[in-house]
Structure 1
């Protein structure tokens, strides 16, 4: 953070983010409260803290990036995690999205293929006292069958095909959100809702997210 930036500037930046989310049509009180209370600056590299609430992605370790808070807000609004018992996140990244989900759901299971990112996220969650997140160094494309079914599943990157093995881990009435399409193009935001043995797919918008790719399965 530069000398002229400080807590007051971050507070104002966070308030500006909430206003922007409202302008985008995200008005649910629980979602807005999560964005208000979770410190995004705790999840970005120290040299980028002053940019934590600006539009655009930020780089993190392993050649990965942090999705901008407004894009994340749209994905979470489609997921409707408020009051969910168990949420599965595929792609931990910085840990910010899991932290947001943990303010609305009872428990969040977050899978990350890069060990460095998984460990860093775990330290961040512990550092701010978020104890209802289980972080695992796992291949997210297998899901987490030992904890299924899940009320909600969020894919934080794009996929070219619906990961059916993971979506099958939805509970009846559960919802999954994913970005479907090539990484080089805008992708469709797909909302998949399970109704017993049927899966109802609805396109709710578009986005451009980096791809999720399979990795080796190992727990921390």
Structure 2
């Protein structure tokens, strides 16, 4: 956001704070990552409004306040290995890359992964690995993960992802039917099982199995 005029930047950050993004580290990272490159075409001029925007493959880039709230809830530490399910535009992974040691991000749409990789390279974010895969199965070969974030809604927290969460780890996932109100859930894995916290209502595209058609 270095190229933004101070007033636009101030309004952008104020919108995040007013929606509940209060973690200073998260706000600082969001300020440092320009949302512009992750938007496309006619929507690029709206990159600094707190709203979701359409991207390729029928997906969306989440509104910045939701990215901030999910990131804040994840409580990422500098040594953490993070799995993101649903690369989308790559914006969320870019934010996480500034907070974690390593970010693995998977998406069922090869085009989105390809375009996100190009942005990661242009922004010099070498600690992100983007993979085309069925995210509902996670990434077993890299498990366990300290943190898992899911940017698509499941009916329940997916079992394979829960199994890939390290003891003491945290997963943030929207849960609910795609055509009704969904709830953002934080899951903590303990020595004896899982603890669940409901955070807030959200609206995400559904988590689908299989790979998407190349577009």
Same fold flag (TM > 0.5): yes
Range of TM-score over shorter length: over 0.9
Shift of 1:151: 0.6
Q: Give the aligned length.
A: 211
* Kept after mapping to 2: 8 A contact 1:15/1:36: no
* Kept after mapping to 2: 8 A contact 1:17/1:70: no
In the alignment, which residue of structure 2 is the partner of 1:4? none
Q: TM-score w.r.t. structure 1 length?
A: 0.91
Map 1:5-20 → 2, pairs under 5 A: 7-9=3-5, 12-20=7-15
Does 2:169 correspond to 1:174? yes
Q: Is the alpha carbon distance of 1:8 and 1:111 closer, same or farther for their aligned partners in structure 2, counting shifts above 3 Å?
A: closer
Does 2:95 correspond to 1:77? no
Aligned alpha-carbon RMSD (Å)? 1.7
Shift of 1:171: 0.7
Shift of 1:84: 4.3
Q: TM-score w.r.t. structure 2 length?
A: 0.93
Map 1:142-153 → 2, pairs under 5 A: 142-153=137-148
Partners of 2:208 and 2:14 in 1: how far apart? 34
In the alignment, which residue of structure 2 is the partner of 1:41? 36
Q: Which runs of 5+ in 2 are unaligned?
A: none
Partners of 1:140 and 1:185 in 2: how far apart? 22
* Kept after mapping to 2: 8 A contact 1:113/1:140: yes
Partners of 2:54 and 2:45 in 1: how far apart? 14
Shift of 1:148: 0.7
Partners of 1:12 and 1:104 in 2: how far apart? 26
Q: Which of 157, 165, 168 matches 1:162?
A: 157
Partners of 2:138 and 2:35 in 1: how far apart? 26
Partners of 1:95 and 1:180 in 2: how far apart? 21
Q: Which runs of 5+ in 1 are unaligned?
A: 1-6
Q: Which of 200, 205, 211 matches 1:210?
A: 205
Partners of 2:133 and 2:165 in 1: how far apart? 18
Does 2:57 correspond to 1:62? yes
Q: Secondary structure at the match of 2:152?
A: strand
